[in-house]
Structure 1
Amino acid sequence: MSKLPHIGTSIFTVMSQLANEHQAINLSQGFPNFPIDERLIEIVAKLSKENVHQYTPMSGLPSLLEKIALLTQQSYGRMVNPASEILITAGATEGIFATIQALVQSGEEVVILDPSYDCYEAPILLSNAKPIRVSLHSDFTPNWDAIRAATNKKTRLIIINNPHNPTGKMWSEHDFLQLENLVETHPNLLVLSDEVYEYIRFEQPHISVHHRRKLWDRSISISSFGKSFHITGWKIGYVIAPESIMKEIKKVHQFLVFSVSSMAQHALNAYIDQVDVTEIGRFYQQKRDRFRQLMQATKLELLPCEGTYFQVASYAGISDENDVDFTRRLVTEFGVATIPISTFYANGTDYHCIRFCFAKDDDTLQNATERLMKL
């Protein structure tokens, strides 16, 4: 008997496989197709010949933990203890999984804001807890009346994602004030803040739980080197949480993966001194602006993109098909793979919107939009 009977193959895997079958341009799955930083390549080549191939400590390479603490202070003005409040994880997904498994008890509830990334629900179900799916407004901003109505004494976690995948929206000061009020009202409630796109933001600044002193003792943040440094295949991220909470997360982490790739940690430890994270947003803003400019020649309506490397577009003016059928036809007839937004909702809400990944080289974006012009 399956413990996850209704969960099948991820839509990201499905669309990437479909793209391969039809030799389509893949703008579906969120990974860059351009080379990583040459400096990082040189660091890896040098390290490969050094004695860095055995286990690191379970929590992470101490020097890298210290540099993450410094990065957090520089980025957000928050001091965290590298020895007790930071954990290196095998990607953000492992951090999310370990956190939920460690903190959520059988019978408790976890609020998920839809549309939501698909890795949140499984660890909740495996904890014998209940996911409570609350839809964002149609403009993808939080519906605080619905969130408050869904939160009760059984609610252990609320999962937030800012900047938001799949929509590219970012939370406002008002949203964080509402979240602080919610946490104050419910003493058992913790915040799991998925911030993997924290450095990929554009015109407006990213607000983090690290900025919110009232949330420090009640929040767990998730970050991703893979997203920030275009190395998604390395599967390396980190979690920041108060020591009392982190102790519980580490208990799960040590039996889930024990420790993370030593080569990746040593490489990032050297690389982080050479890179300016403030440049990441500017780099992707050029990608976003280029893609949006090219897309003006299509019949698709582009929604605002405030952060992440995803662009949502409405095809309502082109077709009344459901978004799953429309994306399949985009692959088979036009040779471009995208993601249907309805698959990020538990109830399949369909606004006739699709998601593109613009973390691609210029030729890929040019060729894709030329095909989309034929719609």
Structure 2
Amino acid sequence: MIELVRPTVDLSGSWWEMVDDFAGATIHGSGYRPSDRDVLRDPAAFEEWVDWLGRMERSDEALPVGRVPSSNRWIVRDGRVVGTVAVRHALTPSLLAEGGHIGYAVAPGARRQGVARAALGQALRLAAARGIDPVLVTCDVDNTASARTITSCGGVLEDERDGVLRHWIRTGAPAEPIGPGPVEGREARLVPITAEEAAAMRAGESRPGWAEGYPREDDLDAIGMMTSAPDAWSPRHVVRRSDGLAVGSIGCFGPPQDGVVEVGYGLVPAARGGGLMTDVLSAMVRSLEASGLRVVAHTEPDNLASHRVLARLGFRRVEEPGADARAEWFWASGAAADGVGEP
């Protein structure tokens, strides 16, 4: 039986056996470096280190530069440590390029026995419980075993960057059905734009709490469709949690039609490229899907960043009858795309 357990000194004996099995190789998702060995061999230092691994799960813990809150677990089989997993609660630019949300390693003596797949599956459930959806999981381009494991758990390859394969996996994190109130994402709140704020945006006013460059032209187009007080389908400010600034907007092109709703979204240039849009669109799509709706979107053919975000969330490009694919591409979430031919 494979379990993910919190690091504990009670498993120190089999922990060190696992470390020896790696023979000095990097143990991904462990927080351990071979250079730490001499220090951590002291039981008091090992206990302090194990305690620190546990504290990394707390959002209020002061962490070194470059570290993010993480849920650290040891992979245990039949009472013995055979690997490690770290579920990172956020992505830095470095982790977005390499490392991802989940890092894991299985000791050489326990490989090719289904341990990695079982552990990754449990790590995905741990990520879902924390509202992380989708997750990024990476591996070296020549690590075919890890690539197969990731794919078997639902991973969809986005690209290869400097010898690293980057896969995204939907976790099915729970969400509240869409309503007239804010939608809560991990990195942003999606707050309905009021009629008074819409009037200020049309008048070209800049308000405290609005980032430089907001609203954009597309944001003004979105509020142009408002005909009444905000409702579930109205445009929303994307309010970044890290600084409380409105950095873009997201909303629906009107109420659902036959159970299908179209979303539109965008960020000011300074807020792009750090994974924020993935979190924002995920929160919106999950909330819409929790209401039993299917979700579609249109993009310009050259908007590669938007294409990548949609693909991360399981959208597929499909043919739209009568549409000019040179002007716009049509995307549909997995359920909405069923039965529609791909180009």
Band the TM-score falls in, shorter-chain normalisation: under 0.3
More strand by share: 2
Larger relative contact order (CA 8 Å, sep ≥ 6): 1
